[in-house]
Chains A and B, each alone.
Chain A
Amino acid sequence: MSFDPRTAETAIERPAPLFPRQFQQDRTLGLVIGVLCFLACLCAVAALASDRAASGWRRELGASATVQVRPKAGETPSEAADRAAEALAGAKGVAEARALDREAAERLLEPWLGKGNIPDDLPLPRLVVVDLDRQHPADAAALNQALSAAGVDASVDDHGRWIADVRRTGDIARAAALGALLLFAMTAGAVIAFATRATLQTQRDVVEVLHLAGAQDRFVVKLVRRRFAILAGQAGLFGAATAAALAALMKLFGGENGLTPVLPLAWIDLLAVLPCPLLAAAVAAIAVRRAAMSILKAA
């Protein structure tokens, strides 16, 4: 057969990958990484949403206080409550203070005692609801000082305990999300390290020929790393896109708050999935390097 160099040159356009493609293994690995990335992205979006919910609750609780008034001798509860509301309304850092009448106090008890089950002669604590100035809210001490100055016997609940609980819950949710993300990353790393070992084991002959041709360990590692980093990046893109699509559906069809008031999704939360492909590729690169170098050095 005659040889034409020009034909030969056009037949060879670029070098082939030195490691043979393993379609079955790559597909399975891609699926596993993709699912892990999908879960990690959902986790990140949920963490952002729960953080927003916690912030909202903290803001609401911190913007008001409740004062329980104890009437003095010869004073009716309503009078005491009105006096307390008046004293608090003029205090610095208070936007509005209003005394709850008996009917309002009964409504607060209805969930526990039922409607119409509260006897008329049952003494009820009288409450004053205080809306605080959003910019410069008064603290419990300032409210107590205003009440003392007006000679009102009352106790102030600035919702501090609830705020602390909400903050702690938010912190736990954030830490749990971060822990879950780390766990997903470690799982992905372990899976890729396993696949690296399998690849180097099944392609032992290729590795040996490369070494005999003068390849450094890092050259071999680079080949495997490139392959798995690309695979993980693609799987990360798939997982991130799927998670973003699901979150968008939740936002669109989940009602006013995105899904529930507990998880108020915002469109901007979807941006949290953007780093996923890059992170997946980085995790793969690190996992391959560690696994491959240890295998090659031990060989």
Chain B
Amino acid sequence: MTRHGADFAMAEPASADTPVVSFQGVGMRYGRAPEVLRDIDLTLTQGSFHFLTGPSGAGKSSLLKLIYLAHQPSRGLIRLFGQEAATLPRAALPALRRRMGVVFQEYRLLDHLTVFDNAALPLRVAGGRFDEYRQDVIELLAWVGLGHKISAMPATLSGGEKQRLAVARAVVGKPDLLLVDEPTGNVDQEMGRRILRLLKELNRMGSTVLVASHDVALVEESGSPILTLKGGRLGGPQDGPLP
């Protein structure tokens, strides 16, 4: 399995000292509404593992959106892999995005594609050859417990299976930065732990991981540093358990 896509050479390799994600005084708003995120200062170093917590509506998903370049900040400076995101031309964004894996809260699976094709999507987009990635994807799907459903369509999957598929798609390219939005929302405790172990494993392999979750048990169990969003402002990081 390739770690990066075909044109990753465009992006600077992040050295150990270069933060993978760096926010300075970042704000974000939707349209003309008041800011949902205010004065966010955040640094994620390479190989770190953080939880992002906060009550519903605190802005966890919005913060992730800023990181995976789905939304522009209303102010402040965002640097990703050492590059200032706001000044990057549109053509440079895909190379950065290919260094990230994202598990969306609402999964965002493609309903017309099979489980296999959904999971393989990042590799395909990165120019991977089917013959080269087929075996890796099948093994990954087996690992997340979907080996028997590789030809199934997402509409036939349960919520938990969809979640596992979304995780598989996010990690298939072994991304440098993994953003996970509520990974255990629809899975049982055992599968939740399994997903967490997968995330930890990827973290050990060098991926920087940020997990947005309000699953207190999961967060406390992990013992990883916690960033807390409240009223659009960021607190922490603190080493668990939650206050």
Query: Which residues of A approach B to under 8 Å, CB–CB?
Result: 1-3, 5, 8-9, 11-12, 14-16, 18, 20-21, 205-206, 208-217, 219, 297
CB distance from B3 to the nearest CB of A (A): 13
Provide the bound-state CA to CA distance between A26 and B129, in Å.
28
CB pair A214–B130 under 8 Å, yes or no, is no
Q: Give chain B residues whose Cβ lies under 8 Å from the Cβ of A208.
A: 108
Q: Give chain B residues whose Cβ lies under 8 Å from the Cβ of A3.
A: 142, 147-148
Q: Give chain B residues whose Cβ lies under 8 Å from the Cβ of A217.
A: 90-91
- Residue of B98, B120, B138 with most chain A CB atoms under a 10 A cut-off: B138
Query: Which residues of B approach A to under 8 Å, CB–CB?
Result: 5, 7, 68, 70, 90-91, 93-95, 97-98, 102, 108, 110-114, 116-117, 120-122, 124-126, 130, 134-135, 138-139, 141-142, 147-148, 150-151, 169
Beyond the given pairs A5-B138, A212-B102, A213-B121, 11 more chain A to chain B contacts, judged by CB atoms under 8 angstroms and listed by A's residue number, are A2-B148, A5-B147, A12-B151, A18-B110, A18-B117, A209-B110, A212-B108, A213-B122, A213-B169, A214-B95, A215-B94
Q: Give chain B residues whose Cβ lies under 8 Å from the Cβ of A297.
A: 90
Provide the bound-state CA to CA distance between A55 and B97, in Å.
64
Of all chain A residues, the one with the shortest Cβ separation from B133 is A15
Provide the bound-state CA to CA distance between A205 and B118, in Å.
14
Which among B122, B139, B150 is the interface contact of A214 at CB below 8 angstroms? B122
Q: Give chain A residues whose Cβ lies under 8 Å from the Cβ of B108.
A: 205, 208-209, 212
Given known contacts A3-B147, A5-B142, A212-B102, A16 and B70 CB-to-CB distance under 8 angstroms: no
CB pair A206–B130 under 8 Å, yes or no, is no
Provide the bound-state CA to CA distance between A219 and B68, in Å.
19
| Pair count A-B, CB < 8 A | 86
CB pair A18–B113 under 8 Å, yes or no, is yes
Provide the bound-state CA to CA distance between A294 and B165, in Å.
33
CB distance from A298 to the nearest CB of B (A): 11
Provide the bound-state CA to CA distance between A9 and B131, in Å.
10
CB pair A8–B97 under 8 Å, yes or no, is no
CB pair A211–B94 under 8 Å, yes or no, is yes
CB pair B117–A9 under 8 Å, yes or no, is no
CB pair B113–A8 under 8 Å, yes or no, is no
A-B contact pairs, 18 of them (CB 8 A): A2-B148, A3-B147, A5-B138, A8-B141, A8-B150, A12-B151, A15-B117, A16-B114, A18-B117, A21-B112, A206-B112, A209-B108, A210-B125, A213-B121, A214-B94, A214-B97, A215-B94, A219-B94
Provide the bound-state CA to CA distance between A14 and B150, in Å.
13
CB pair B121–A209 under 8 Å, yes or no, is yes
Which among B70, B125, B135, B138 is the interface contact of A219 at CB below 8 angstroms? B125
Q: Give chain A residues whose Cβ lies under 8 Å from the Cβ of B117.
A: 15-16, 18
Given known contacts A206-B110, A297-B90, A12 and B121 CB-to-CB distance under 8 angstroms: no
Provide the bound-state CA to CA distance between A8 and B150, in Å.
7
CB pair A5–B148 under 8 Å, yes or no, is no
CB pair A214–B138 under 8 Å, yes or no, is no
- Residue of B7, B95, B124 with most chain A CB atoms under a 10 A cut-off: B124
CB pair B70–A9 under 8 Å, yes or no, is no
The 6 tightest CB contacts between A and B, nearest first, are: A214-B98, A3-B147, A20-B112, A214-B97, A1-B148, A215-B125
Provide the bound-state CA to CA distance between A212 and B113, in Å.
17
Provide the bound-state CA to CA distance between A18 and B113, in Å.
7
Which among A8, A18, A206, A210 is the interface contact of B138 at CB below 8 angstroms? A8
Q: Give chain B residues whose Cβ lies under 8 Å from the Cβ of A205.
A: 108, 110
CB distance from A46 to the nearest CB of B (A): 44
Provide the bound-state CA to CA distance between A105 and B108, in Å.
90
CB distance from B6 to the nearest CB of A (A): 10
Of all chain A residues, the one with the shortest Cβ separation from B151 is A11
Provide the bound-state CA to CA distance between A2 and B91, in Å.
44
CB pair A15–B120 under 8 Å, yes or no, is yes
